[in-house]
Homo-oligomer: A and B are copies of this chain.
Amino acid sequence: MAVHSPSDHFEPTADSIHAARERIAKYAVRTPILESDALNVLVGARVFIKPENLQRSGSFKLRGALNRALQLGTAEREGGIVAWSSGNHGLAISFVAKELGIKATVLMPHDAPKTKIEGVRQNGAAVRLYGKTKENREEIGAQIAAESGAAIVPPYDDPYVITGQATLGAELAEQVAEMGGSLDIALFPCSGGGLVSGAACGVHTLMPRTAIYSVEPAGFHGMALSLAAGEPRTAPANGSSICDALLVPTPGKLTFPIGRERLTGGLSVEDDEVREAIRFAYRELKLVIEPGGAVALAALLAGKADITGKTVAILLSGGNVDAEKFAAYIATPSNTGH
């Protein structure tokens, strides 16, 4: 990959995505493609489901973390890694650090899911909790990096990380093609935009006409607002959402320009729609999906995209959710008759 200059429009290329796929192949799982009769009938489309909750570390974040960590030089590796994360990027970083024998420090919000905080610790990384309203995680991270010589691996606004997530799009398109399909539409969860921007480039290497949509929790739908405005916008973020992984209200400096080029639009979903998707995945797909991982499915089930008769892909991006919360999500009776 060419060195990124901040003034350029960065975008993963077919070559850089291919190189990333080769780089991470030994460590990342080629997650399967699933189909659900119940889902296809319910939404009137053929839906290819990519379950990255089955990825090592429990989410797609492994891909970007691997693609960055595997390109650290020997001296950089010795300094270790520092990262900030709502949880899944931290799990991925700590998993990769353990795998490669690198020290890692992860900054996580106090209110991150217990399973995510415990998972990072179990992987052997140091956890530094911070208060989301009182502290700036980028500043703390930069300070730790300056003091310790650790390399910063940002959660989304980084060329290596975006290219790592792009491997997911390329892999998905390749698998769908192997199954004889061609995607009209693909929906990806979106927080800072690393996944959807990278994956869009990945899908387009093989299927350049696929319409790609971001899906965000309502109130945190900064990518949707920005795409509609044609320039960066920040969502109100004045409420809350059960989607702990998707609470970034503004797309990244690198991810938005890619999104503007590559995305057809941005969708948003309410918490109740996400709960319904979690229940559906429990009942029909037999999968454990965390709230942030279920937003693309939620958008489909709630009819947010016009997909009748089309060939669609959705990404289930993660499955790291506290058991008490998951139990509550699936036990709540649905208000749509399921």
Contact = CB atoms under 8 A, between A and B. Distances in A.
Contact of A37 (B53, B56, B287): B56
A58 B286 contact: yes
Contact of A288 (B37, B51, B58, B288): B288
A57 to B, nearest CB: 9
Nearest to A330: B323
A10 interface: no
Q: Is the interface of A mostly helix, strand, loop or mixed?
A: helix
Interface of A: 29, 32, 34-35, 37, 51, 53-54, 56, 58, 115, 279, 282-283, 285-289, 319, 323-324, 326-328, 330-331
Nearest to A34: B54
24 contacts: A29-B35, A32-B32, A51-B286, A54-B285, A54-B286, A58-B286, A115-B283, A279-B323, A282-B288, A282-B323, A283-B323, A286-B287, A286-B288, A286-B289, A286-B319, A287-B288, A288-B288, A323-B330, A323-B331, A324-B331, A326-B330, A327-B327, A327-B328, A327-B331
A115 B51 CA distance: 23
Contacts of A35: 29
A326 B329 CA distance: 12
Nearest to A279: B323
A245 B58 CA distance: 29
